[in-house]
C-alpha cells in the first residue's frame, strides 16, 4: 500500500508493507501527469515502512527511470536499510537527478526544499 502527497514540483510517496505493481502504476500515473504540466519534479520516497517489493516493481522502476532520465531534479530516499541505500546509489546510473539517502524526513524535505527556493 502507498500514500502519495503532491504539491508544486514535489511528489512524495510512502510505502507501507509490500510495494506491488498496482501501487507503482499509481505512482507512475501521477508523476507522468506532474511532468507533463510542471516540467522537472522532485521525488521523496519514504521506504522506512516498506517490507519488500515484487520483482515486477523492480523491472518497472528500471524502465520508468530510463524513460524519465532527465525529468527529475532531486530524489530523496528515506531509509535506514543498506540494501535500499545501495539500490538508490545504483539508480543514479539511470537518471540525471541528484539522489540522496536520508534517515530523517525533515532533512530530506529541507534538501528538496532548497531546490524549490533556488528556482524561485
Q: Domain count of the chain?
A: 1
* Grid cell for residue 7: 504539491
Band the pLDDT of 88: cuts 50, 70, 90: low
Q: Which residues span the domain enclosing 25? A: 2-119
Asked whether residue 115 carries a pLDDT value surpassing 70, the answer given is no
Residue 36: CATH number of its domain: 3.40.50.10600
In three-state secondary structure terms, 68 is coil
The predicted-structure confidence for 23-61, as pLDDT tens digits, reads as follows: 999 999 999 999 999 899 999 999 999 888 888 988 888
**Average pLDDT value over all residues in the chain:** 85
| Largest pairwise CA distance in the chain | 39
Q: Lowest-pLDDT range, 18-27, 56-65, 72-81, 87-96? A: 87-96
Tally the C-alpha atoms within 13 A of residue 46's C-alpha that lie toward its C-beta: 18
Asked whether residue 116 carries a pLDDT value surpassing 80, the answer given is no
Edge-first strand order for the sheet with 10-19 is 2-7, 10-19, 41-53, 72-78, 98-102
* Grid cell for residue 90: 545504483
Amino acid at each position: 500500500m502507498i500514500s502519495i502527497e503532491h504539491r508544486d514540483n514535489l511528489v512524495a510517496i510512502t510505502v507501507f508493507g509490500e510495494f506491488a505493481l498496482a501501487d507503482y502504476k499509481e505512482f507512475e500515473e501521477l508523476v507522468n501527469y506532474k511532468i507533463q504540466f510542471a516540467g522537472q519534479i522532485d521525488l521523496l520516497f519514504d521506504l522506512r515502512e516498506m517490507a519488500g517489493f515484487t520483482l515486477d516493481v523492480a523491472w518497472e522502476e528500471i524502465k520508468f527511470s530510463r524513460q524519465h532520465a532527465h525529468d527529475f531534479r532531486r530524489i530523496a530516499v528515506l531509509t535506514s536499510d543498506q540494501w535500499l541505500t545501495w539500490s538508490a546509489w545504483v539508480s543514479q546510473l539511470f537518471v540525471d537527478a541528484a539522489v540522496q539517502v536520508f534517515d530523517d524526513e525533515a532533512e530530506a524535505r529541507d534538501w528538496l526544499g532548497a531546490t524549490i527556493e533556488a528556482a524561485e
